[in-house]
Amino acid sequence: MSFTGEIKRELSGAMPKRPCCEMAALATLYAMLSEEKRSEIHLKTENITIARRIIILSRRLLGIELEPDIRSASSKSRKQIHLVVSGKENIEILKNELHMISEKANIFSSRIDPSFSVSDCCKRTVLQTAFLAAGFVNSPKKSYHLEIVTHKKRVFTDILNIFEEVGIEAKSITRQNKYVIYLKNNELICDFLGMIGVKRGLFLYHEIKMEKELKNGINRQMNCESANENKTINTALLQTKAIQKIMKSAVAETLSAPLKETMQLRLSYPTMSLSELCEVSETKITKSGLNHRLNKLIKIAENLS
């Protein structure tokens, strides 16, 4: 099962408890999933839990009986559950009770009326239901990404407003004639999942995220150590070449005893770092002092013809 599937399975296990939240959930489901066709309202979903929730809440809150019809989705092997609201009286109930009516005319219009998201609990319910109906969250193993998608501009605006009201700074784009609300910030994704009631999934999200960050940290450390090792080897090689050049010249005999000692030390241990050279040196010398001597030998070699 995908990471999104794990999250949705947990959310599917809990129905809204308060009457206001039940109405908020039902209004959101109709807004997200309904389409008007030939004087009927059609709702489509591949999630049997969502279909069951629509049937139960429609019966309890609106007095509308719905029968599921399972069909094959066009050009897909997956099955879709179709729910149909027919009859002028039932459609009037939807328009009046769920406020799904155009502001310009007495026609059915998909929207989440602000009256269903007045309280904090209902705001959470709307976002939870919207995610359950049309949400996706990537496994943190891959990237930090959560989104809710709808092809209805009014519903998109309604949900985006609720994100703003709960203090989660979501971003939005249009993709293939669909409106996408998304989060790419790890902390915001965690805040959102926690707010809509995800517990086990949030713990799993944190666990995967920590494992990913630990691996990335180890890789960065290894890369850093490898880079430092390469730098040490390259520097030692430069110093060795300079010393070999000096030893082939008459200048070698004119150098001071400390510089001659440094030349012999480097040639004896051509791959050691400065710290390691200080440890094996027979005379006490600091790392900065040894570095100064080696740099001086490089300059002498550069001045040789």
Q: How far apart are CA 124 and CA 24, in angstroms?
A: 9
Q: How far apart are CA 125 and CA 133, in angstroms?
A: 12
Burial of residue 79 (number of CB atoms within 10 Å: 0-12, 13-18, 19+): exposed
Comparing C-alpha atoms, which of 147, 152, 150 is closest to residue 136? Answer: 147
Does 162 have pLDDT greater than 80?
yes
Predicted pLDDT at 192: 93
Does 204 have pLDDT greater than 80?
no
pTM beyond 0.75: the answer is no
Predicted pLDDT at 225: 67
For residues 289-294, average pLDDT: 89
For residues 34-43, average pLDDT: 87
Q: How far apart are CA 206 and CA 196, in angstroms?
A: 16
Higher pLDDT, 212 or 149: 149
Comparing C-alpha atoms, which of 19, 17, 94, 95 is closest to residue 58? Answer: 94
pLDDT, one tens digit per residue, over 122-148 is 999 999 999 999 999 988 777 789 999
Does 75 have pLDDT greater than 60?
no
pLDDT, one tens digit per residue, over 216-269 is 677 777 777 677 777 888 888 888 888 888 888 888 888 898 888 888 888 888
What's the CA dihedral at 41, 47, 52, 54 to 10 degrees? -40
Predicted pLDDT at 20: 94
Predicted pLDDT at 73: 60
On average, the pLDDT of the chain sits at 86
Predicted pLDDT at 248: 85
The DSSP string of 248-271 is TSGGGGGS-HHHHHHHHHHHHSTT
Does 305 have pLDDT greater than 70?
no
